[in-house]
Amino acid sequence: MSVYIPKGYKSHLNLIDTQYAIKIAKDNFEKKLSEKLSLIRVSAPLFVYPETGLNDNLSGSERPVSFEIKETGKYAEIVHSLAKWKRYALGKYKISFDNGIYTDMNAIRRDEELDNLHSIYVDQWDWEKVIAYKDRTREYLIKEVKKIVEALSETKEILLNKYKQLKFSINKEVFFINSEDLLKMYPNNTTQERENLICKEKKTVFIIGIGAKLSNNLPHDNRAPDYDDWNLNGDLLIWHPLLNKAVELSSMGIRVDKKTLITQCEIARTIERLNLPFHKSILEDKIPLSIGGGIGQSRLCLVLLEKIHIGEVQASIWSDDDVNIFNINQLNIL
């Protein structure tokens, strides 16, 4: 089954309290995130022209939702994420070093496989900061990850004080590990199994190095070659005791410079992308070096409110079979 319902699960919060708690969680986390990372909020597009190269290609196989604009006769695409657009925006807004932007990103991912953590509707905070070349280091990445986890933990404490029926804190001590080292720890397990094993033990984990092939000739996970530096990026995982699994809350990283962009596009056999306007702006040093990422809003609420299905914290659509499971188990889907 695509939907997993833990035996005896019943939400700690009814529908009305859930809606109040979602707002508390989002408002407080957003405020803390912007303060800790020195970010200002900006408006962002829901759709872009594909020929700009601004849409996120994700793993390269997902199909964007597209439509024709009557006025122009051209096709636009609903964004998959704003990973590339944000870096362009840093230059447009002339953001100074160690400062950045964030935005509410809404997307439709039509090819998503629906389960407890995945919906075709994606809502996340997309953020991006200007960095200097000297900041393109593992140490700088780790420093920013710790700030995000601080914001997450502090937001959970606010919810625990408000709703006494909630039970779990967020471990502020982040365990950092390279994807290759994780593979060596669990050489006979799949990527998902490795993540679950390490996260069950450490609770809050950041896996560094997503996209490049490991010693087993496979990447830890797929990443587009033209925004993250595969050696300086990673995934933030939080252990979810009710689901008995790791939940990825954020994918983030230091972005490619021109050398890394060319190298990774060659590896991915997507060298033709270098002719697109966004990619040319990197090669010609017209947009700043940066670090950035996305933080799932519904995923965050699922973890903080101790829910077990993303449909409990966002309004989306589901298969008839899934809806039947929700009804049988009296799950309050929004």
Task: Give the residue extent of every domain in the chain.
Answer: 15-328
Q: Provide CB contacts within 8 A for 196, sequence distance 6+.
A: 244, 245, 246
Measure the CA–CA gap between 235 and 301, rounded to whole angstroms: 18
CATH class, domain 15-328, is: alpha beta
Residue 17, phi-psi category: left (phi > 0), alpha (psi -120 to 50), beta (remainder): alpha
Measure the CA–CA gap between 29 and 165, rounded to whole angstroms: 20
Residue 31: predicted pLDDT:
96
The verdict on whether 251 is a catalytic residue reads yes
The verdict on whether 109 is a catalytic residue reads yes
Q: Which residue type, as a one-letter code, is found at position 125?
A: W
Residue of 30, 81, 109, 314 with catalytic role:
109
Residue 58: predicted pLDDT:
66
CA-CA distances (angstroms) from residue 231 to 177, 179, 190, 208?
A: 12, 10, 20, 7
The verdict on whether 221 is a catalytic residue reads no
Measure the CA–CA gap between 231 and 209, rounded to whole angstroms: 5
Residue of 11, 34, 81, 124 with catalytic role:
124
The verdict on whether 235 is a catalytic residue reads yes
Residue of 17, 98, 181, 248 with catalytic role:
248
Residue of 126, 226, 235, 322 with catalytic role:
235
Residue of 56, 77, 226, 229 with catalytic role:
56
Measure the CA–CA gap between 219 and 264, rounded to whole angstroms: 13
Residue of 250, 251, 297, 314 with catalytic role:
251
- Would you give per-residue pLDDT tens digits along the chain (334 residues)? 578 888 888 999 999 999 999 999 999 999 999 999 999 999 988 888 888 777 776 666 778 888 888 888 998 988 877 878 888 899 899 999 999 999 998 888 887 888 899 998 989 999 999 999 999 999 999 999 999 999 999 999 999 999 999 999 999 999 999 999 999 999 999 999 999 999 999 999 999 999 999 999 999 998 889 889 999 999 999 999 999 999 999 999 999 999 999 999 999 999 998 998 889 999 999 999 999 999 999 999 999 999 999 999 998 988 888 888 888 888 888 8
The beta-carbon contacts of 298-302 under 8 Å, at least 24 apart in sequence, are 298/119, 298/123, 299/117, 299/247, 299/248, 299/249, 300/25, 300/26, 300/29, 300/152, 300/249, 301/21, 301/22, 301/25, 301/26, 302/117, 302/240, 302/247
CA-CA distances (angstroms) from residue 306 to 159, 164, 227?
A: 11, 12, 32
pTM of the entire structure? Answer: 0.90
